[in-house]
Amino acid sequence: MSKLIKPEGYSPALDLQQTELAIKKIKDFFLGQLSSELRLRRVTAPLFVLKGLGLNDDLNGVERAVTFPIKDMDDAPAEIVHSLAKWKRNTLAEYDVKPGFGVITDMNAVRADEELDNLHSIYVDQWDWERTMTREDRTLRYLRRTVERIYGCILRTEYYLSEMYPQLTPFLPEEIHFIHSEELRRQYPDLTPKEREDAICKAYGAVFIIGIGGKLDDGSVHDLRAPDYDDWSTPNADGFCGLNGDLLIWYPLLNRSIELSSMGIRVDAEALERQLALQGKEDRKNLYFHQRLLKGKLPLSIGGGIGQSRLCMVLLHKAHVGETQASIWPEQMRHDCREAGIMLI
C-alpha cells in the first residue's frame, strides 16, 4: 500500500454521522446549482449497456469493462458502464434537446482496473452532463466560459458548506487558471505530466489543462483519451490543438493536485474520422454510435463528468475517497487507514 498518503496528525473535521448528512447536502446543493447554471434536466441513466454498440466509454482506451451475459437474451453480453459520454449524446438526440440546454444524470460505474489509492476506487459516481451546442459555439472561448461556470458552482457549494460547518474553512481560489498541455510541458520540461499538474496547481490553486489526448510537440501525450468522445485534435484559438481538458485543484491536505472533472467539446464527424485514424481504430466507424454521428443524426455537444465522492472528499476535507463512498478496499489499506485515523465507510 505504498501509494496510500497518510497525512500526519490527520483528524476528520466531521464524524461519520455528520459526514453522511453533509454528503447529502453537498449532492443536493451542487446538483441544483449546476442544473440551473447550465440549464440541464435530469434523466435516468443505465448501469450497463449492450456490448458492441459503441455506447460505452473507453476512457484512456485500455481499461476493461466488467462484462456479463444476459440469460433471457441468448446470453448477449452486456457491459457495466465506465461513464456515459457517448450515451448522453445519444440521449440528447432522442429527447431532441435544443442548443443551450442539456441533460444531467447520476452515473454509477465499476472500473475494475483502477489502481486503488486515496483518490481512486473501483466504484465511480459522477454527475454526468451533456449540453447541445451550435457549430458557432465549438470554440475555446465557449469551453473556457463553461469551465468558469462549473467552477463557480463548486465555489458556491464550498461556501454553502462552510456556513453550516464553520470548521470547514474554504480554501479554493476565486478564479481558475487556464493553460494548454503543450504550454505546461514547455513550462516544466523536466517533469512528468503528473508532476506538471502538481506544480501548476500548487502555483494557482485551481487549473484547467486544455488539450488532453493529442500529441505534444515532443511526441508525448499529457494523458491518453479515447478517440470518439472528446475533441482533442481540432486547432483552437491559442494556436494549439484540443477543445477539451481536465479541471484540477491543489489539495493541501494530501499535498497534491486532484482532478475533479474531465470535460470537453465533443467530436464532430470530421474530428471523429481524424482521431480514429490517429489511433488506428477506424473499425469503430461501423458501430451503432459512430454510424449515427457520421450520418449527422447526433447533435453537436459539450459535456463531462464531475466526481461526486471526490468533490465531497475535497469539500469535507477528507484524506481518502473511501470516507465519502462505500467500496471495496484491500485489507492492508483498511488497516493502514485505521492507524492513520482515516475511517473508511
User: Tens of pLDDT along 104-123?
Assistant: 999 998 888 888 999 999 99
- Residue in 106, 259, 273, 336 annotated catalytic: 259
Model confidence at 219: pLDDT above 70: yes
Model confidence at 57: pLDDT above 80: no
Is residue 57 part of the annotated active site? The answer reads yes
Place of cell 494556436: 239
- pLDDT (0 to 100) of residue 1: 44
- The candidate with the shortest Cα–Cα distance to 181, out of 151, 145, 217, is 217
- Residue in 33, 35, 57, 197 annotated catalytic: 57
Give every CB contact of residue 26 below 8 A, 6+ residues apart in sequence: 157, 161, 311, 312, 315, 316
Report strand pairing: 256-265 vs 102-110: unpaired
- Residue in 125, 183, 197, 246 annotated catalytic: 246
- Residue in 33, 79, 83, 111 annotated catalytic: 111
| Mean pLDDT on 297-324 | 96
Give the side-chain half-sphere CA count within 13 A for 204.
Answer: 17
- Residue in 33, 83, 121, 262 annotated catalytic: 262
pLDDT in tens, 264-297: 999 999 999 999 999 999 999 999 999 999 999 9
Confidence of residue 215 (pLDDT cuts 50, 70, 90): very high
Is residue 268 part of the annotated active site? The answer reads no
Model confidence at 340: pLDDT above 60: yes
- pLDDT (0 to 100) of residue 345: 87
| Mean pLDDT on 123-145 | 96
What are the C-alpha distances in Å from 86 to residues 118, 152, 293?
28, 26, 10
For the chain, give the mean pLDDT.
93
Q: Residues 168, 6, 332, 313: is their CA dihedral positive or negative?
A: positive
| Mean pLDDT on 180-185 | 97
Give Rg (Cα) of the chain.
20
Instruction: Look at residue 333 and give its three-state secondary structure.
Output: helix
Is residue 136 part of the annotated active site? The answer reads no
- pLDDT (0 to 100) of residue 188: 97
C-alpha cell at 67: 462484462
Is residue 111 part of the annotated active site? The answer reads yes
- Residue in 33, 35, 83, 126 annotated catalytic: 126
Pick the CATH number of 16-339 from 3.30.70.1520, 3.30.950.10, 2.40.128.110, 3.30.930.10: 3.30.930.10
- pLDDT (0 to 100) of residue 267: 97
- pLDDT (0 to 100) of residue 52: 80
Model confidence at 147: pLDDT above 90: yes
Backbone angles phi, psi at 131, to 5 degrees: -135, 130
Interatomic CA distance for residues 104 and 306, integer angstroms: 11
- Dihedral of the alpha carbons of 110, 114, 116, 119, in degrees to the nearest 10: -80
Percent of the chain with pLDDT over 90: 83
C-alpha cell at 150: 462549473
Confidence of residue 81 (pLDDT cuts 50, 70, 90): confident
Interatomic CA distance for residues 320 and 159, integer angstroms: 21
Model confidence at 2: pLDDT above 90: no
| Mean pLDDT on 209-220 | 95
Model confidence at 67: pLDDT above 80: yes
Weakest mean pLDDT among 54-63, 121-130, 302-311: 54-63
